[in-house]
Amino acid sequence: MHSNDKETLFKEALGNYPTGVTIVTVTDDEGTPFGLTVNSFASVSIDPLLILWSIDHKVSSLDAFKHSDRFAVHILAGDQQQLCQRFASKGTDRFGESNWSMSELGLPVLDDAFAVLQCKKYNQVEAGDHTILIGEVADISIAREKEPMLYHRRCFGAIPSQFYGE
């Protein structure tokens, strides 16, 4: 039986909305890296170059993101399912099990993403049980030979080939 209460309908509608998948990373004051899997990422503005994502107040790295003046968004490639799950699961050694390096901007950058956007924090806005983090893009790298990951109804993977037509 499907429930028709508004929250259930909201989750059903939004859960069916296809997105890409990102991992957003940051360091705390001691330089320890933190990160999580995120699909609330969106483009906001061209002038200046702004993006946003939102973080649940329950996430353990909330304070690191709220206190830092920067963060890095990795748009995952279609073959990065393992990384996607690692950064969404409790009790995994997210950075210990992953290949990454510290960037010149002092941000933990994971290897092999489709694209990496290193951002200076532009604004943060409290919104219900999440905080919206808006970033101004300071540096972008793209692996043009790769394709991004697709996420839909809790399934994720490479973009199906028929997507592109001929």
Under the rule (CB under 6 A), what is the footprint of ligand FMN? 21, 36-40, 53-56, 59-61, 87-88, 90, 151
β-strand 70-75 against 50-56: which pairing, if any? unpaired
Q: Which amino acid is at 155?
A: C
Start-end of H helices in the chain: 6-15, 62-67, 81-86
Q: Which is nearer to ligand FMN, 44 or 88 (CB)?
A: 88
Q: Which is nearer to ligand FMN, 17 or 102 (CB)?
A: 17
- Smallest separation, CB 30 to ligand FMN (Å): 17
- Smallest separation, CB 6 to ligand FMN (Å): 20
Q: How far apart are CA 110 and CA 106, in angstroms?
A: 13
Pair of tokens at residue 95: 């950075």
Q: Which is nearer to ligand FMN, 109 or 150 (CB)?
A: 150
**First-to-final CA distance of the chain:** 41
Q: Which is nearer to ligand FMN, 1 or 19 (CB)?
A: 19
- Smallest separation, CB 84 to ligand FMN (Å): 7
Of 81, 80, 64, 78, the C-alpha closest to 131 is: 64
- Smallest separation, CB 104 to ligand FMN (Å): 26
